[in-house]
Homo-oligomer: A and B are copies of this chain.
Amino acid sequence: MKLFYSPASPYARKVLVCAHELGLADEIETVPTSPFTDEEYRATNPLGKVPALASDEMGTIYDSTVICEYLDQLSTGAKVFPANDRPRIDALCLHALAQGMTDAALNLRQNTMRGESEGASPLPEDWYVERQYSAIAAGMDEAEAKLEDFKGDVNIGTIALACFLGYWNFRFADHVWQDDYPGLATWLAEFNARPSMIATQPS
């Protein structure tokens, strides 16, 4: 299987962490791509985003969450999607929280990049920007409050949360959050010691 990805993408990292946790990392060839400048990539993923997975069995699969569920199906051992109803919805809800924060962080980064384009002026610091920061702050509050419910789990929810926090540290290093969220900070330090996280650090 080929995984089209970009090294800094938190969505691609989520897929790779799942692959490692499921014991499937060796079956995936990673292909770096610049989705927005590589026109041919549109034939792989019409939405022009990474990651996408190309497999002989399934053709092309996207988005990151569908790829994770496909890898989960392939695994005969470990699983990252809980099978039972209640744990499954809880994990998916934590995943949605982490994805929402990741989307907000990406929105902020795109907003900055638009203002730094050649000939462009910085975009206003308006309600749109405030809304992204607000979603991240409220999402962090929620994750800290729910920590006892998920802190021992390794599933699609906790993996997505760890990848979000890693991305936030990587791209928004001046936004120090560890003092305000000591539980999450301790949890992330422990989660980051997993081989799946070490093998997929953004660089």
Q: Which residues of A contact B (CB under 8 A)?
A: 36, 42, 46-49, 58, 61-63, 65-66, 69-70, 73, 85-86, 88-89, 92-93, 95-97, 99-101, 104, 110, 114, 117, 120, 123-124, 126-128, 131, 134-135, 138-139, 141-142
Given the interface pairs A65-B96, A114-B126, A123-B123, the reply to whether A47 lies near B135 with Cβ below 8 Å is: yes
Q: Which residue of B lies closest to A89 (CB)?
A: B70
CA distance A131 to B49 in the complex (A): 10
Minimal Cβ-Cβ distance residue in B for A42: B138
Asked if B93 and A47 sit within 8 Å, CB to CB, the answer is: no
Which residues of chain B have C-beta atoms less than 8 A from A69's C-beta? Answer: 88-89, 92
> In the assembled complex, which residues on chain B have CB atoms less than 8 Å from the CB atom of A127?
36, 114, 117
* Nearest chain B CB to A164 CB, angstrom units: 12
* Inter-chain contacts of A96 with B (CB < 8 A): 47, 62-63, 65-66
Q: Other than A62-B97, A69-B88, A120-B124, give 11 A-B pairs with Cβ distance below 8 A.
A: A47-B101, A47-B104, A48-B134, A48-B138, A49-B100, A62-B93, A62-B96, A66-B89, A66-B93, A66-B96, A69-B92
Residues from chain B with a CB closer than 8 A to the CB of A123 are 114, 123
Residue of B nearest to A90 (CB): B58
Chain B nearest Cβ from A119, distance in angstroms? 9
Once bound together, how far apart are the Cα atoms of A123 and B129, in whole Å?
14
Q: Nearest residue in B to A138 (C-beta to C-beta)?
A: B46
Q: How far is the CB of A183 from chain B (nearest CB, A)?
A: 16
- Chain B's closest residue to A114 (CB) is B128
Closest Cβ neighbor of A84 among chain B residues: B73
Q: Assess the B89–A135 pair: CB atoms within 8 A.
A: no
